[in-house]
């Protein structure tokens, strides 16, 4: 028999961790999701059922999944859009103080508590906050229930933007400034050089930043919980309600499994699409 490479042994702890901390739990979750729910009792009923999944096909639940996804797409696009110039300035600004300041801001936000930031957003962008007039530019009045959507999006953007920016900082650093210099020597303006040389080369990093942001958005639930005014409901919120409020574990498990599939489909599916498009 062929001897296993030494490397295989190094996989052992990691493999065990994956098996015990992800594989096992997901399997238990799957089993739980197939049990019938008996209202008023915590003991799951006898037998197996697909009812918990069938319930999720109601139009309202498809609506929540779509809303979660739609807000996630908008926020991810905005975070790439905002992060790109920021990251570029943080890498290429001629002034060292600007570079350092921007990087410190990004690292600082990464380590600062998300909850504290979300409440800060509620205070600043809420209907009484000083930034509410700017929020109204979206066309949604800060006093209307739909404004909760704007607030949740702002909260998520505050969460994803520094992460995407730091990813792009890494990407821009890897690009040699010589490329722009070369373009400039061929008569291109600086803006032209950035647009025609730097952006295409940074495109893969921007795509992966977009996907990471999207994954962060659709699996986040603290932003809708704290900023959603009870009106913006993400798929994650539905699951939490079943666990924390009504004790309907089988239904919560079915939502969890569906989310898992959806999340993998979105992230890996989109990544494959993006790879094909960039090729």
Partner 1 sequence: MDRRQLLAAMAATAGSSAGPVFAQPRGEQLLVVMWGAQWIEVCRPIGEEWMRATGDRIQWELHAGGAMAVVGRLRPLWPRIQQNLIAAWDPVFDAMMEAGWMEPVDPAEMPALREIPDIFFKKNAQGQRMTVPLSTAGAFWGYRTDLVSGTPIESIEQLLEPRFRGKLCVPVPVNLSGLLMVSLAIQRGGNERNIEPGWQFLTELARRGNIGRVVANNSEMISAMSAGDLSVAFWNTGGWQAVRNRFPCRLLTRLTDNKGFLFNEGFAVMRGDNPARIAAAKRFANHFATAPINTRYNMPLGSGPTNVNSQAAESIRDIFYTPEELPRFAYIPDYSFMASQVDAWTRRWEQEITPLIRRA
Partner 2 sequence: MMRWLDLPLRLLARAGVLVTVLFLLVPLVVACVLSFDDRSFLGPFPPREWSLRWYRGFLDNPAYMDGFWMSVQVALAAGAAATIIGTLAALAVSDPRLPGRAVWEALFLSPKFVPTVVIGFSLLVFTARIGIFDPFTRLVLGHTIITLPFTMRAVLASLIGLRRSHMEAAMSLGATEARALWDVAVPAARSGIVAGAAMAFVLSFDEVAVSLFLSDAFTQTLPIALVAEMRANLNLTIAAVSTVFLAATLLLVLLLDRLIGIERLAGDVGARG
Report 116-145 residues binding partner 1 (CB under 8 A): 126-128, 142-145
User: Cβ closer to partner 1: 88 or 147?
Assistant: 147
Q: What is the nearest approach in angstroms of partner 2 to the Cβ of residue 179?
A: 16
User: Cβ closer to partner 2: 145 or 170?
Assistant: 170
267 binds, among partner 1, partner 2, none (CB under 5 to 8 A by kind): partner 2
212 binds, among partner 2, partner 1, none (CB under 5 to 8 A by kind): partner 2
Q: What is the nearest approach in angstroms of partner 1 to the Cβ of residue 1?
A: 46
Q: Which of 47, 244, 276, 277 binds partner 1 (CB under 8 A)?
A: 244
219 binds, among partner 1, partner 2, none (CB under 5 to 8 A by kind): partner 2
Q: What is the nearest approach in angstroms of partner 2 to the Cβ of residue 157?
A: 8
Angle between helices 59-92 and 96-111 (to 10 degrees): 150
Closest by CA to 80, choosing from 183, 211, 189, 262, is 211
117 binds, among partner 1, partner 2, none (CB under 5 to 8 A by kind): partner 2
User: Cβ closer to partner 1: 149 or 180?
Assistant: 149
Q: What residues numbered 6-65 form the site for partner 1, per CB under 8 A?
A: 37, 39-40, 42, 55, 58-61, 63-64
User: Cβ closer to partner 1: 170 or 247?
Assistant: 247
SS (H, E, C) the chain: CCCCCHHHHHHHHHHHHHHHHHHHHHHHHHHHHCCCCCCCCCCCCCCCCCHHHHHCCCHHHHHHHHHHHHHHHHHHHHHHHHHHHHHHHHHHCCCHHHHHHHHHHHHHHHHCCHHHHHHHHHHHHCCCCCCHHHHHHHCCCCCCCCHHHHHHHHHHHHHHHHHHHHHHHHHHHHCCHHHHHHHHHCCCCHHHHHHHHHHHHHHHHHHHHHHHHHHHHHCCCHHHHHHCCCCCCCHHHHHHHHHHCCCCHHHHHHHHHHHHHHHHHHHHHHHHHHHHHHC
Selected range binding partner 1 among 84-92, 197-205, 238-246, 256-264, rule: CB under 8 A: 238-246
Residue 230 near partner 1 by CB under 8 A: yes
Q: Which residues would be at the binding site for partner 1 (CB under 8 A)?
A: 37, 39-40, 42, 55, 58-61, 63-64, 67, 126-128, 142-146, 149, 229-233, 238, 241, 243-249, 251
């Amino acid at each position: 028999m062929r001897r296993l490479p030494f490397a295989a042994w190094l996989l052992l702890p990691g493999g065990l961790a994956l098996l015990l901390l992800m594989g096992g739990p997901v399997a238990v979750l799957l089993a739980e999701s197939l049990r019938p729910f008996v209202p008023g009792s915590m003991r799951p009923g006898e037998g197996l059922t697909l009812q918990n999944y069938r319930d999720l096909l109601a139009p309202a639940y498809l609506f929540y999944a779509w809303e979660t996804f739609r807000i996630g797409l908008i926020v991810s696009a905005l975070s790439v859009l905002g992060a790109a110039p920021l990251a570029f300035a943080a890498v290429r600004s001629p002034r060292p103080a600007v570079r350092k300041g921007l990087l410190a801001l990004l690292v600082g936000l990464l380590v600062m508590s998300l909850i504290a930031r979300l409440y800060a957003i509620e205070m600043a962008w809420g209907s009484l906050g000083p930034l509410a007039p700017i929020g109204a530019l979206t066309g949604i009045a800060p006093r209307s229930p739909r404004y909760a959507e704007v607030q949740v999006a702002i909260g998520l953007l505050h969460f994803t933007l520094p992460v995407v920016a730091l990813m792009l900082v890494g990407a821009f650093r890897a690009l040699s400034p010589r490329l722009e210099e070369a373009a400039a020597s061929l008569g291109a303006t600086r803006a032209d050089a950035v647009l025609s040389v730097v952006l295409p080369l940074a495109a893969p990093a921007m795509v992966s930043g977009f996907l990471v942001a999207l994954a962060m958005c659709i699996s986040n639930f603290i932003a809708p919980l704290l900023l959603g005014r009870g009106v913006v409901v993400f798929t994650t919120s539905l699951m939490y309600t079943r666990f924390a409020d009504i004790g309907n574990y089988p239904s919560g498990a079915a939502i969890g499994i569906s989310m898992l599939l959806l999340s993998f489909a979105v992230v890996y599916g989109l990544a494959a699409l993006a790879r094909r498009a960039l090729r």
